[in-house]
Structure 1
């Protein structure tokens, strides 16, 4: 099959090259048939295989499931790990949470004092824990899973919702969390409503922290929002 395809490419290319500078070249029936076949082959090949991956089955989207070690059923797991990030009192450096794999390929020693990569802990004692979240995991480390959803082209986290809009596929729902308002900046993360710890260790080592957040009416219009409530979130794909 490869040799026959190659022969088609070479023959067609030869015809096109020879004709490149021709103004009044009349293609024979066999030449035209060959070109039409080549066009059909290229169109079918691109449609079936894709332009970048080579296989349609490899297309899809990835997302992080914060607070869980596994992905939902029928969703492939790329890797499982632990959440990391910058220390909560650091004023510079990264502001995003990271899903760090459990099988790292570690680098070499570095002399400079620029520590920015720490683990992450839940800080969700009763006053900062959304009422719909199970258990008190205060000062326990946060797990994560990178998930691959096949045959999807986009992923969307919707704050303030627990269900997806029509036409979107539900992945998981949870609560919007970030660091405490007086600490360093952190991204908002949608932490699974059934969040779990990495293990049972509770040594208060801090690092990047997760607090439940609440709404504040004013510039945020109420209604439709309510004041002083937890913020739900949902991850959807399409």
Structure 2
């Protein structure tokens, strides 16, 4: 047990010092990915009580009935919210003919129980941004992997995602704004709609095009959808609002 605590302490002290020396982590994505994966493995084998998951709050604000929501494309929660957990966006393969249509925020540290290496008929894949259009507001994210964070409000008790607006209605508080994303209508895989932060981040080291679960910006299409006020082909915004 003493050795376990010693190893855990060394890892935590080392990563803390590295973060202090290079707070922006702009020049070493591979190193950051390695340290992240190392901490995740140590949490699995040593336990989260020894190496707890990272949060943005030094002291967890315990609030009964606080609203929870997922912030897609970010690893931090808006001010006034606590981090429940951080992780990776995931869902069904974009070419799957069936399977769940929900995008999930998978935690950094999974916990397994009984398992088998035999093939399953249902799989979950990591999510990539598909913003290859050069004029896309988030073109810089193209082919990068999508992070996420689940947040709990200190005081608000309700949370809703409002599509096609980057402002909340009267009486509601804006937690973050962004763009509406979902699966391509040209693909067979199931998908849903998620609100990706307009200042979205990426998972370090995840630029490789692996084509698992894919998210595209959603455009308005005139017809049954009235134009105006909607505009054909324009990317739709979104807002996460609490009350």
Q: Residue 74 of structure 2 aligns with which residue?
A: 68
1:145 to 122, 144, 149: 149
Write the deviation string for residues 122-155 of structure 1: whole angstroms up to 9, x where unpaired: 111125x642x3x512111100000001222211
1:14-33 equivalences in 2 (<5 Å): none
Write the deviation string for residues 65-118 of structure 1: whole angstroms up to 9, x where unpaired: 001011112210100000011111011111110000001112422524324211
Task: Tell me how far apart the structure 2 counterparts of residues 95 and 144 of structure 1 sit (CA, whole Å).
Answer: 17
2:87 to 81, 88, 108: 81
Q: How many residues align structurally?
A: 180
Question: Does residue 108 of structure 2 align to residue 97 of structure 1?
Answer: no
Larger radius of gyration: 1
SS at 2:63 equivalent: helix
Question: Does residue 229 of structure 2 align to residue 195 of structure 1?
Answer: no
Question: Does structure 1 conserve the Cα–Cα contact (< 8 Å) formed by 2:99 and 2:122?
Answer: no
Task: Tell me how far apart the structure 1 counterparts of residues 184 and 198 of structure 2 sit (CA, whole Å).
Answer: 19
Task: Tell me how far apart the structure 2 counterparts of residues 152 and 222 of structure 1 sit (CA, whole Å).
Answer: 35
Task: Tell me how far apart the structure 2 counterparts of residues 156 and 198 of structure 1 sit (CA, whole Å).
Answer: 26
Task: Tell me how far apart the structure 1 counterparts of residues 109 and 64 of structure 2 sit (CA, whole Å).
Answer: 23
1:38-187 equivalences in 2 (<5 Å): 57-107=63-113, 108-126=115-133, 130-131=136-137, 133=138, 136-183=140-187, 184-187=189-192
Structure 1 residue 200, shift from structure 2 partner:
3.2
Moved over 4 A (4+): none
Structure 1 residue 168, shift from structure 2 partner:
0.4
Structure 1 residue 185, shift from structure 2 partner:
2.2
SS at 2:141 equivalent: coil
Structure 1, unaligned runs of 5 or more: 1-55
Task: Tell me how far apart the structure 2 counterparts of residues 57 and 93 of structure 1 sit (CA, whole Å).
Answer: 35
Task: Tell me how far apart the structure 2 counterparts of residues 198 and 88 of structure 1 sit (CA, whole Å).
Answer: 20
Structure 2, unaligned runs of 5 or more: 1-61
Question: Does structure 1 conserve the Cα–Cα contact (< 8 Å) formed by 2:98 and 2:190?
Answer: no
Question: Does structure 1 conserve the Cα–Cα contact (< 8 Å) formed by 2:80 and 2:154?
Answer: no
Question: Does structure 2 conserve the Cα–Cα contact (< 8 Å) formed by 1:122 and 1:139?
Answer: yes
Task: Tell me how far apart the structure 1 counterparts of residues 174 and 143 of structure 2 sit (CA, whole Å).
Answer: 30
Q: Residue 228 of structure 2 aligns with which residue?
A: 223
Task: Tell me how far apart the structure 1 counterparts of residues 128 and 203 of structure 2 sit (CA, whole Å).
Answer: 10
SS at 1:57 equivalent: coil
SS at 1:60 equivalent: coil
Task: Say what the alpha-carbon RMSD is for the aligned residues.
Answer: 1.6
